[in-house]
Amino acid sequence: MSDDFNGVYAHGVEGIAHELRQECLDEAKELVSELDLCLDDFRHERIEADELLSKVSRTALKLRVQAGNVGLRLLGTVAHRLEDFIVNAKALPPGAADDLQVFIDRLEDITDGRLALDSDAGQVVRDLPAKVGFSESDIEVRNIEVMLVMLHGTANHYVERELQQCGYRVHTVTTTFEALPMIVRTQPDFLIISAIMPELDGIDLAIGLSAMPATRNIPLALITSLDDSDEHLSYLPSNTSVIHKGPSFGDDLFKALDNHFLI
């Protein structure tokens, strides 16, 4: 199993950090195994969907937090995708159990060493199932990754559903500080950032992303209730699309996607 932690920790600390990462991987392996058994129980109707969803949610959150604490970035990224995959789900649509199995298999690949820790996260997440919302018979999922940097709520749910109906693969990150490394690692095809976010505003994040070589070519849009004349919008890079909340939302979203050749 390879990694990319050389030089990250001070001399004398690398050994401790390696032990902590290995302990995290060992515990993650147990958690994923338990989750696999839980999914098997659901398939054989020994437990209900709500119990499975609760187990998935708890396990994904625990894996994401623990992986983040010791720098296991790929494990944390996949766990975050699993967490977002079932967020707000009240039931499992047809085929969702098979989709969950793919997540479990990929987590097992990481914890067992079959998938290197320094693997391309962007490719790994694109091979994961699209978020729960529609069965394959409803929507043809396109290989276009859209990341929403928004708080969970009505607005996020609405934007997400609109994009899902167009077949886009949609993933939500709820803090700007968490979004930044996730964007660098996974290189989404399109970003939609809420202007008002805790700690660091979406406008500041958009400015930063457009300035950095690693992210400046990622198309992005800002979703806001601010009027076009608001001076805050004048700070945005010229290539940033603006999607207004309200009656013009649909037209603005279509225009933003069309401007970046994603229609």
pLDDT at 4: 53
- The verdict on domain 1-133 having CATH code 1.25.40 is no
Q: What angle do CA 35, 37, 38 make, to 5 degrees?
A: 60
Each residue of 195-219: pLDDT tens digit? 999 889 999 999 999 999 999 999 9
pLDDT at 261: 86
Strand pairing of 241-244 and 169-173? unpaired
Q: What is the pLDDT of residue 3?
A: 53
Class of the 139-263 domain?
A: alpha beta
Residue 239, φ and ψ in degrees, nearest 5? -90, 10
Q: Which pLDDT does position 8 carry in this prediction?
A: 58
- Collapsing DSSP states into helix, strand and coil, what is residue 138? coil
Domain boundaries, the chain: 1-133, 139-263
**Cα gap 73→182, rounded to integer Å:** 9
Report the pLDDT value the prediction gives residue 106, as an integer from 0 to 100. 98
Laid out side by side, the sheet with 220-224 consists of 169-173, 145-149, 190-194, 220-224, 241-244
